[in-house]
Amino acid sequence: MTPGNVDVGSSDEVGPVVHEIMTARVVAIGRSATLHEALAVMLGARVRHLPIVDDGKCVGLLYESDALWELYLHGELARTAGECARSPVPFVPFDASLSAAAQVFESAAADAVVVDRAGRIAGILTATDVVRATARARVQL
């Protein structure tokens, strides 16, 4: 599920791997959900990125900011969550190094990637997760 020709590295590299710092509690929503429904789910779960699933597969990633802009610009004529979601979804393997994840962030021009484990969503890694891990590591020095 890795996009493009990005070398995802291995967990042999020094430092934490993706599954150690990702957000493991993931909530998702279907393609046909309204943006109001999607934002309500985001608010309840205290997240800013929401995977869009169809037939058990992650087919998009809805950003809170994209949903809000769509509603602001189009009101009740706004598209569905699935139509507003970013696709293709950037994926990173569960045991990838942070440097490999950073390559995926950069190549996808994204601030969140879906973490894949055996073809299933294992979590989401966001720029906030990386900053938090970096800050904690710095404090431990």
pLDDT in tens, 78-121: 999 999 999 999 999 999 999 899 999 999 999 999 999 998 99
Domain residues of the chain, as ranges? 18-140
3-13 per-position pLDDT tens digit = 433 444 444 55
Which token pair is 104?
A: 């995926």
Instruction: Domain 18-140: give its CATH superfamily.
Output: CBS-domain (3.10.580.10)
List all residues 6 or more positions away from 26 whose beta carbon is below 8 Å from its beta carbon.
Answer: 51, 121, 122, 123, 124
Per-residue model confidence (pLDDT) at position 132: 87
* pTM of the model as a whole: 0.84
12-54 per-position pLDDT tens digit = 556 789 999 999 999 999 999 999 999 999 999 999 999 999 9
Please, are residues 60 and 87 in contact by the beta-carbon 8 Å criterion? yes
List all residues 6 or more positions away from 105 whose beta carbon is below 8 Å from its beta carbon.
Answer: 90, 111, 113, 127
Tell how far CA 135 is from the center of its chain: 21
Residue 99 φ/ψ, nearest 5 degrees: -65, -35
Please, are residues 101 and 3 in contact by the beta-carbon 8 Å criterion? no
Strand partners, 138: none
